[in-house]
Chains A and B, each alone.
Chain A
Amino acid sequence: MDEIKYNSSIDYGTPKSQSAKQVTLTIDDREITVPDGVSIMHAAAVAGVMVPKLCATDSLEPFGSCRLCLVEIEGRRGYPASCTTPVAEGLKVHTQTPKLADIRRGTMELYISDHPLDCLTCATNGDCELQDMAGAVGLREVRYGYDGENHLASVKDESNPYFTFDPSKCIVCSRCVRACEETQGTFALTISGRGFESKVSAGNKDFLESECVSCGACVQACPTATLIEKTVIEAGTPEHSVTTTCAYCGVGCSFDAEMKGEEVVRMTPTKNGGANHGHSCVKGRFAWGYATHKDRITTPMIRKSIKDPWQQVGWDEAINYAASELTRIQKQYGSDAIGGITSSRCTNEEVYVTQKLIRAVFGVNNVDTCARVCHSPTGYGLKQTLGESAGTQTFDSVMHSDVIFIIGANPTDGHPVFASQMKRRLREGAKLIIADPREIDLVANSPHIRADYHLKLRPGTNVALVSALAHVIVTEGLVQEAFVKERCEWDSFAEWRDFVAKPENSPEALADELGVDAETMRAAARMYATGGDAAIYYGLGVTEHSQGSTTVMGIANLAMATANLGREGVGVNPLRGQNNVQGSCDMGSMPHEFPGYRHVADDTTRALFESAWGRPLSKEPGLRIPNMLDEAGEGNFKGLYCVGEDIVQSDPNTQHVTHSLENMECVIVQDLFLNETAMFAHVFFPGASFLEKSGTFTNAERRISPVRRVMRPKNGYEDWEVTTKLSEALGYPMHYSHASEIMDEIAALTPTFRGVSFKKLDEMGSVQWPCDDEHPDGTPIMHIDEFVRGKGKFFITQYVPTTEKVNAKFPLILTTGRILSQYNVGAQTRRTHNTAWHAEDILEVHPHDAEERGIKEGDWVGIVSRAGETVLRAKITDRVQAGVVYTTFHHPESGANVITTDNSDWATNCPEFKVTAVQVSRVSQLSDWQKHYKTFSEAQIAFAGKKAEAAKVS
């Protein structure tokens, strides 16, 4: 039997079945063979027979409430609902009979009798399943009139900034309620009341005040105009659609940009998106308005000094000025005096041409990317242990996990669409271990989910925890020795085993340091090692430490020792913060590596690129971002090309960063907005939004997905074109006419991308690297038969406490994180209605620490560290432990990174964002830094000819 070829534009009514058993039945005289377990409705759709339906949709389990999908089955009594009736061998089903037609018309008549007849002026006219079904069943009259009691006067809930809820149009099919439960896992909606009083309720609150996370699943599921995007109400229904990739987090969701001409009407999650399977979050689904925000700068600008107003110029003048300044600086200060920084918000193609420009034209390897400050320890640690700087699994792999171990990650806020999938698996019964200093939502604040163990460790003690867990696994005989012997370097294992078995690495010896009960650690280790297929998911709570790389290696050690690698359901899974963290690293934007993680000192690789690029290349590793800033601070580094990144807001010790930028003579910023770094720039190249360019993003599961241009760039050029123009002005033309040609060059020079092309992405939708002759359809799971490095290598992970110590002056530890509605430095999300959920960064303080300091909810509090001081509003909560305070860094005026220090990871210089010793006290005014920032930023915004009210929703 051939596999069914599903068409993503068809709603099959109920989900697919994974059963290998095939069943053959007859539907309306058509014989059809389908997997056992699917519904008759689903089988009918496969056969091309569309049974009328309202409460069914194939993203949700069948519900059987609307009574439209009734069928007749020969030999069975009555009129069973086809959505809830499974197929069976030999069934003969009839979907269209006079009796069925009569029943359906009667049912529809009842629906319509309590539904406004305003189809012509309704926002979903032409895109309404209720309207379609009225037509399908041949409804011609409604005999009951509107004099009786009805819901037509029900009041709209317009509290959510992105969609409306109009109960007068609701048919109470429960699709929204079930989508909130099954797809999103938030359970914010319910049907309250009984009978006629039944209505969809967001917990008796309006949508904005409710538990709703605005993921859009309910809107997507609604078959009427009850839940509908406000943009559709305003603009009307879209007329064409282009599939592209979200520009937010590392999940990399596929979206259909639904358009009217060059105007986006709405973004809907692509049903067959490889990473998201038709789901979305509040950012990707709704927060795209920044792309047309009035704050965007679309004209190039130059100036001699940051004390001067900006001068708007044409592209040629801006490009030539930048080129002349870079040339002058290199002549005056030496080749090494300039470099560049790319961003994980750039496409692969943009990153590639930027690092090519820096290596081949600047003649240096001073190129780095923002992964430096997030997941550089992942690249280092996984390369050392497993041989490849990437996560090992697909997101879908989590559906096979028996034990999920989350370390230093907050998926429901940082990676919400994947978190929904993870929650689904947890509701199915997978065990959950969480190691986090803070009580993230998955600990006990998500419906029907409760962590089996929450290891609420002190910030900065991850390595001690990993060693303690390893100690239990080794000393209690839980190592999978057969796997280790076959797959790993035995000598490295033996050294590691002997190290972790030492008494000083036992949970009992480390309990006080960690602040975690020893027996809890033992139980968690046993669960991870013996609970079945176990997968580790980790985030910046692992990497952004002075021992970030050590923890990554320790995680890989645990996975190798317990044989939790190389198949579905297991693995080591770094949850990447931004959409293209993986891709920006893959594309050679680290100062020591060419694309494909090949060291610049490797003669063969260097010769390959020298031949392709026609320029001699340096064999010396270049400067990392913190090295560039240090050198600039001392007057040795004078020119920077910064593409899409905002180091002033996102990098640690803000005052050190700004001092270094002030010391430079030519800072070129390429961005959508006058971001914080641009305030210190001399050249501003306006950038294009993700809607205005072609390229690819690579998500946390190595999935390369297409970014497709749906409108012309408002600045005139796609970003890779700007980079090639700069290159040409510097005497090195790059001859690309489309981003696809850049990918062709990447594929030609990078073994793991050899089989990748835009054509393949058009055909497959997306593909996970390595994609080469051996794996033409990509590699969903890595390290199946052997590790990329051959044998896996264990590393000893000695715990070295951070030098960022608490003391009497700085008695608390500040740790930082993210929130669902905002993204990274907030440059995008602050310019959307997402500010409705998070208008400012706040400081979480434990009740004990607050009481000691006389701090009350909402008080202004000063936070002082060895690096600086800022002021935030306080929130009193026991989500943080005593002795720890927490904040986000989405708003520049918060100055969260004014406080963080220069401490960094030993191997990669990834900043230690997660541990800063601070003191907190009540204050009555902004900090000196904040006062200075306000004055400075207002002046800079005025220099650009903008009103000094940036970051407000238009």
Chain B
Amino acid sequence: MDIKRLISMANQIGDFYESYPNQSQAQENIAKHLNSFWALPMRKQIAEYVNVQGGNGLHQMVQTAIKAHIQV
């Protein structure tokens, strides 16, 4: 899938959780959302983008969440 589309979708999730005071919980929730609702190929693609390609343009909280909690 077009990585720009995935980045845009992931950033929207990050925007939702940005205001949560407990950032570590928010990061878990971001990853939980991705694990629960994104198909495996989409998760693999965004994880590779973060872990291999540096995650440019991706919300910082989302990057952290993916590194720590994504299931691929």
Q: Measuring CB to CB, which residues of chain A are less than 8 angstroms from any residue of chain B?
A: 336, 366, 495, 498-499, 546-547, 550, 591-592, 599, 601, 620-624, 627, 630-631, 634, 636, 796, 798, 800, 803, 902, 904, 906-909
Contacts and interface: CB of A to CB of B under 8 A. Distances in A.
Contact of B39 (A601, A621, A796, A904): A621
B63 to A, nearest CB: 17
A601 B36 contact: yes
Contact of A620 (B1, B8, B21, B39): B39
A213 to B, nearest CB: 40
A546 B37 contact: no
Contacts of B2: 630, 634
A908 B12 CA distance: 11
A562 B18 CA distance: 26
24 contacts: A336-B39, A336-B41, A498-B21, A546-B12, A592-B37, A620-B39, A620-B40, A621-B39, A621-B40, A623-B39, A624-B37, A627-B1, A627-B39, A630-B1, A630-B5, A636-B1, A796-B19, A798-B15, A798-B18, A800-B16, A803-B8, A906-B9, A906-B15, A908-B37
A97 B42 CA distance: 83
A908 B38 CA distance: 10
Contacts of A908: 37
B13 interface: yes
Contact of A499 (B15, B19, B41): B19
A858 to B, nearest CB: 39
Nearest to B18: A798
Interface string B33-72: 1011111111000000000000000000000000000000
Contacts, number: 59
Contacts of A800: 12, 15-16
A796 B29 CA distance: 13
Given A550-B16, A622-B39, A627-B1, 12 more contacts: A592-B37, A601-B36, A620-B39, A621-B37, A621-B38, A627-B42, A630-B5, A634-B1, A636-B1, A798-B18, A906-B9, A906-B16
B62 to A, nearest CB: 11
A195 B35 CA distance: 75
Contacts of B12: 546, 800, 906
A798 B8 CA distance: 17
B33 A907 contact: yes
B36 A592 contact: yes
A904 B33 CA distance: 16
A622 B36 CA distance: 10
Interface in B18-35: 18-21, 33, 35
Contacts of B16: 547, 550, 798, 800, 906-907
A499 B22 CA distance: 13
Contacts of A622: 39
Contacts of A366: 39
A547 B37 CA distance: 16
A907 B13 contact: yes
A907 B21 contact: no
Contact of A621 (B1, B18, B20, B36): B36
B16 to A, nearest CB: 5
A800 B19 CA distance: 11
B19 to A, nearest CB: 4
Contacts of B35: 601
A495 B20 contact: yes
A803 B8 CA distance: 10
A599 B36 contact: yes
Interface of A is mostly: loop
Nearest to A623: B39
Nearest to A334: B41
A12 to B, nearest CB: 52
A624 B42 CA distance: 11
Contacts of A909: 9
A907 B1 contact: no
B44 to A, nearest CB: 11
B20 A906 contact: no
Contacts of B36: 592, 599, 601, 621
A636 B39 CA distance: 14
A906 B36 CA distance: 14
Nearest to A364: B39
Contacts of A906: 9, 12-13, 15-16
A621 B38 CA distance: 6
Contacts of A631: 1
Nearest to A622: B39
A555 to B, nearest CB: 16
A293 B35 CA distance: 46
Contacts of A495: 20-21
Quick one: which of A499, A591, A796, A902 has the most chain B CB within 10 A? Answer: A796
Quick one: which of A623, A634, A796, A906 has the most chain B CB within 10 A? Answer: A906
Contact of B37 (A336, A630, A796, A907): A907
Contacts of A627: 1, 39, 42
Contacts of B5: 630, 902
Nearest to A366: B39
B29 to A, nearest CB: 10
Nearest to B13: A906
Contacts of A636: 1
Contacts of A630: 1-2, 5
A902 B8 CA distance: 11
Contacts of B15: 798, 800, 906
Nearest to A630: B1
A623 B39 CA distance: 6
B35 to A, nearest CB: 8
B37 to A, nearest CB: 6
B28 to A, nearest CB: 15
Contacts of A499: 19
A909 B2 CA distance: 15
Contacts of A796: 19-20
A611 B19 CA distance: 43
A634 B1 CA distance: 7
A854 B50 CA distance: 51
A796 B18 CA distance: 10
A636 B20 CA distance: 37
Nearest to B16: A906
Contacts of A601: 35-36
A55 B20 CA distance: 63
A498 B1 CA distance: 39
B6 to A, nearest CB: 9
Contacts of B8: 803
Contacts of B42: 627
A546 B1 CA distance: 20
A495 B23 CA distance: 13
Contacts of A498: 21
Top 7 A-B residue pairs of the complex, sorted by shortest distance between their CB atoms: A906-B12, A798-B19, A800-B15, A620-B40, A796-B19, A630-B1, A623-B39
A464 to B, nearest CB: 13
Nearest to B8: A803
Nearest to A553: B16
Contacts of A547: 16
A591 B20 contact: no
A528 B57 CA distance: 41
Contacts of B41: 336
Contacts of A591: 39
Contacts of B39: 336, 366, 591, 620-623, 627
A230 B65 CA distance: 64
A627 B9 CA distance: 11
Quick one: which of B2, B18, B19, B35 has the most chain A CB within 10 A? Answer: B19
